[in-house]
Amino acid sequence: MMDEKMEKDEVQYDEEHLRDLLQTGETDAFREEYLALHPYDQAQFYEKVGPDIRQIIYQYLSPKEMSTVFEALELDDENYLPFIDEMESTYAAQMISEMYTDDAVDVLNELGQDRVSHFLKIMDQKSAEDIRDLLYYEEHTAGSIMTTEYVSIPANSTVRSAMNIMRNAAPDAETIYYIFVVDDANHLVGVISLRDLIIAAEDTLIHDIMNERVVSVNVTDDQEDVAQVMKDYNFLAVPVINSQDEMLGIITVDDIIDVIDEEASEDYSKLAGVSDMDTFDTNPFQAAKKRLPWLVILLLLGMLTANLIDLFTVTLEKVALLAAFIPLIGGTSGNSGTQALAVAVRGIATGDVEEESKMKLLVREGLTGVIMGIVCGIVAFLIVYLWQSEALLGLLVATAIACSIFVATVAGSIIPLLMHRLKIDPAVASGPFITTLNDITSILIYLGIATVFIDRLM
């Protein structure tokens, strides 16, 4: 029963039937069935068919209808370009002008400057001006992801006049659940919900029923900070202002979902030691180019590890069995360091780790490292003793593992906190980097202790 439901959810339209309607030229039938679909399904069909079929779609759909499909595409920004290239230039410009401003800017940011200028020239003047304003803002800031399609009403208006403004502005607004209140100078002074507006008496003045405690973000704020604000307050939209408190636009929850997804992918790629996450269809040379920088750095760090082992050649020659436990100790400490790193990075990203809680985090992770080190040390001692019947060797390995786990856990917490204080993205303290760093410290601890007790081991 569950499988049947999942299969039904995955297929919401008859792809072959729509293809047949396109190829047989049944324009009206295709438009009726295709435009009745949810925009997500429209976008899925559009993305799946080849360029030849899409050329027919461009003939059957107006630029405004096509803009709805384009906004529903679930693509990385750079992957919009091949679809734009397929379209006739005027059609593409008109389609982009019909999109919500923030979505239009995302597309145009991937085009060359000459092409953007050409598109802006052939768009209608109002759309071009709105888009040009947003193109000015730095990428990954509130200004770059906000939209200017919102509803605002004067503070001195009545509910009756506000409803008239709503009726005129609603068709083009991205959301109408929050109505923002401004003064004569367009300063943000309040907010009112659609519900409160509907139930209020028509002659009531807006400034008497509005909420004056408005949470807003600055146009220069980082998009991650905006996402945190919307998460904390459970907003569907948040207003964007400049340093003079002038209302510039809004950021809606659908854009923040995209930001969260983008930031999560970015952090995951950094934790994996990749400068920028590549997809399955990325060219092998491009994929290698993205991954190589970290690998080269880690290779150099690995050479340092090899040199450290070389320093203890005499110790290893005297008791060759010591070498068998190097991967075990290095791997265990690396894993514990990566675990601590993940906890710290997540706490920083979600805002759970504040200035006053950093020491609390370090103390907790330190105690966690002590407990894990003792438990793993006991397990290691029992394994080595049962395997080799060497109590001293088992004690050596157990001590090295316990100390390495403690050091790795503390390092995995301190490094991202230190980077965060230095205004560096803590995600760059990637898993491979921490693992390699812990390899170095664990070898120093293990072989250093072994060198001290080498005579007894022999």
Of 174 and 186, more confident: 186
Specify the pLDDT at position 276: 54
Q: Judge whether residue 183 has pLDDT over 80.
A: yes
Examine the pLDDT at 415 and tell me if it is beyond 60: yes
User: For position 447, what pLDDT does the model report?
Assistant: 85
More confident residue, 344 or 377: 377
pLDDT digits (tens, 9 = 90+) for 246-258: 999 999 998 888 8
Spans of all domains in the chain: 11-136, 152-252, 284-457
The whole-number pLDDT of residue 435 equals 73
Residue 441, pLDDT score: 85
Q: Grade residue 170 by pLDDT with cuts at 50, 70 and 90.
A: confident
Average pLDDT over residues 441-450: 85
Confidence of residue 3 (pLDDT cuts 50, 70, 90): very low
Residue 345 clears pLDDT 80, i.e. is over it: no
Mean pLDDT (whole number) for 20-26: 91
Q: Residue range 109-116: average pLDDT? A: 85
Q: Is the pLDDT of residue 210 over 90?
A: yes
pLDDT-derived band of residue 458, with 50, 70 and 90 as boundaries? low
Residues 6+ apart with CB under 8 A from 299: none
Confidence grade of residue 126 (pLDDT, cut at 50, 70, 90)? confident
| CATH, domain range 152-252 | 3.10.580.10
Q: Which CATH number fits domain 11-136: 1.20.1090.10, 1.10.760.10, 1.20.210.10, 1.25.60.10?
A: 1.25.60.10
At residue 177, the pLDDT reads: 87
Please tell me the predicted confidence (pLDDT) of residue 431.
60
- Average the pLDDT over 307-317 and give the result: 77
Q: What is the mean pLDDT of the chain?
A: 83
Q: Does residue 321 register a pLDDT over 80? A: no
Q: Is residue 132 predicted with pLDDT exceeding 70? A: yes
Model pLDDT, residue 370: 93
The CATH number of domain 284-457, selected from 3.30.1340.30, 3.30.420.40, 1.10.357.20, 1.10.10.10: 1.10.357.20
pLDDT score, position 432:
66
The whole-number average pLDDT for the span 423-446 is 73
Task: Please give the pLDDT value at position 426.
Answer: 65
Q: Is the pLDDT of residue 445 over 50?
A: yes
- In this prediction, residue 2 carries a pLDDT of 39
Average pLDDT over residues 398-419: 87
Residue 294 is predicted with a pLDDT of 67
pLDDT of residue 430: 57
pLDDT one-digit tens code per residue, 231-250: 889 898 999 999 999 999 99
Span of 17-26, 74-83, 329-338, 426-435 with lowest mean pLDDT: 426-435
Mind listing the pLDDT tens digit for each residue in 360-393? 888 888 899 999 999 999 999 998 888 888 888 8
Most confident of 84-88, 435-439, 444-448: 84-88
Give yes or no for residue 7 having a pLDDT over 50.
no
What band does 57 get if pLDDT is binned at 50, 70 and 90? very high
Q: What mean pLDDT is predicted for residues 18-25?
A: 91
Q: Pick the residue with more confidence: 268 or 91?
A: 91
